[in-house]
Chain A
Amino acid sequence: MPKHPVYDYDLLVIGSGSGGNVAANTVAKAGQKVAIVDEAPKLGGECPNWACVPTKALLRAAEHYRMAKAAPDYGIDTGTLKVDYKRVKEYKDLVVSRTGTDKAEEFFNKNGIDVIRGHAHFIDEYTVSVAGKRYTAHKFLIATGTSNFIPPIKDIEDIGYITYEQAVEVGKLPKSMAVIGGGAVGCEFATIFNTFDVNVTLFEAASRLLSREEPETADLTKAIMEKQGVRVETDTIVEKVEKSGKQKVLHYRTGNKTGKLTVSEILIAAGKRPNTEIGLENAGVEYDKHGITTNEYMQTSAKHIFAAGDVVGPYQFTHTASYQSRIAGNNITNRKDNWQAADYHSIPRCVFVEPEVASVGLTEAQVREQGITPRIGTAPISQVGRSNTENFKDGMVKVVTNQKGNILGASIIAPHAGEMIHELAVAINFDLHAHEISHMVHAFPTWSEAIKVACGNVK
């Protein structure tokens, strides 16, 4: 009998965010010896510390301010309104503290998981080096996440900028801000700062905001943001920045036209790049510029090494990361005949602007790319009773089906779209027809009635 090698751990997880911690806990609960390595100053990953959670807290504060400003329209006098942003940040800090990330190490240890702090680097396929010490493991899970992509703008490093990590820690509002990048992160921060009366200009290199979403969704989002006071420049590249006293001057180009904009602060939200600099080559793990390649079981090209979360894709959401981590955890602890496979066809996508933008499944263009002629149903939210009672009209629902009427994709712009989208996610997950949704009674007066109307309008 060959001697079985002895490892320090059964599973070593690199990254303590959603992609890592779900599997770590699953495997530890199954009685295996687990360690988590993380080099970030705080455990728990981006979501609770610098991303989803703090931004939603700031958006909630911004929502209250917006509603207070609009209150006289509803017969409520508020007197003079004032934003004390220091206290807004205190609220954000309270929300972050309630996630418990400050006690994450204690939590992991309680569950029998060792926490190792530092940068992990594979020395060979069963060994990583962290802070000068080596650790071996029988299996690994890589959940190293992503880092900000900083576009090649001349002198940007010298002039300085902030990213989402610093933007959630801002203690004093700048007078004006240029946001570079019109994806979900850029749009959310533009909404936050614009609501708090910062003069915001949003630059996007592509022809529309939220470029992965339906064109109607992107166009309406742009129109709504402009109506709220954000200046949106699409098809625009920021080429150079320079200092002018305490201000920053951006030189940009839209087609053949050039322009200049002076702002107090620059926020870069131009996308993320996978963190793959951990010696993957030494472990035989294949990757490319999009991230680590895995099969549907979250297994990399090295069979004992799994990967999950943003470093894998195809989406960079907390809910996708934890879903993949759950699958990896299952597959690490179980025999292959009990393995689970990842399925992304009904993953909801939400952008928490005002009103929210949410989508699921395929866009109309993606359906056509698959050689399917789609049927489309749309409904403006102004058609439903809730729009009247709420005094809010800007929004829509779009449903994309195949010729038989099975729902393949959907997009919503509406207050609470992030909640509404799950009805359509269920429909896609269980292969429902649009008429099954349109024949179902929806409560009056709710925004969800717009889903019923859109499904009834599928042609």
Chain B
Amino acid sequence: MANKTKHIVKRGKHTEEYDQRKLYASIYNACIAVRCTDTEAELIAERIVQLVEEWLEPKHEVTSYDITRIASEHFQQYHPDAGYLYEHHRSIS
């Protein structure tokens, strides 16, 4: 991703810097929770993070909801069950 800082507006309206590791971890954990292997989870997390960052490229500031929405859309292609868990994690837990 280009060397520009991306800002994420959180649900409480405060802003955080985009953190690739947080996105990766949430995708990876959703995959593991639906019994993907480590390798599968890593591959899916890497690919979806890459796709989200491509989408994020021209933007400076987006909402955390945007990130969830875009990642969930890509999950449909790679693992819909894990995607469901990822998308609804907060409302389920």
Interface residues of A (CB under 8 A from B): 39, 118-119, 121, 123-124, 129-132, 134, 277, 279, 281-282
Contacts and interface: CB of A to CB of B under 8 A. Distances in A.
15 contacts: A118-B60, A119-B58, A119-B60, A121-B61, A123-B9, A123-B63, A129-B61, A129-B62, A130-B60, A132-B60, A279-B62, A279-B63, A281-B69, A282-B63, A282-B65
B72 to A, nearest CB: 11
Interface of B: 7, 9, 55, 58-63, 65-66, 69
B69 A121 contact: no
A85 B70 CA distance: 45
Contacts, number: 36
Nearest to B62: A121
Contacts of A124: 63
A48 B75 CA distance: 40
Given A119-B60, A129-B62, 17 more contacts: A39-B58, A119-B59, A121-B62, A121-B66, A123-B61, A124-B63, A129-B7, A130-B60, A131-B60, A132-B60, A132-B61, A134-B61, A279-B62, A279-B66, A281-B65, A281-B66, A282-B65
A277 B54 CA distance: 12
Given A123-B9, A277-B55, A129 B60 contact: yes
B19 to A, nearest CB: 18
Contacts of A281: 65-66, 69
Nearest to A281: B69
B66 A282 contact: yes
Contacts of A130: 60
A39 B59 CA distance: 11
Contacts of A131: 60
B43 to A, nearest CB: 22
Contacts of B59: 119, 121, 129
Contacts of B65: 281-282
Nearest to A134: B61
A411 B6 CA distance: 51
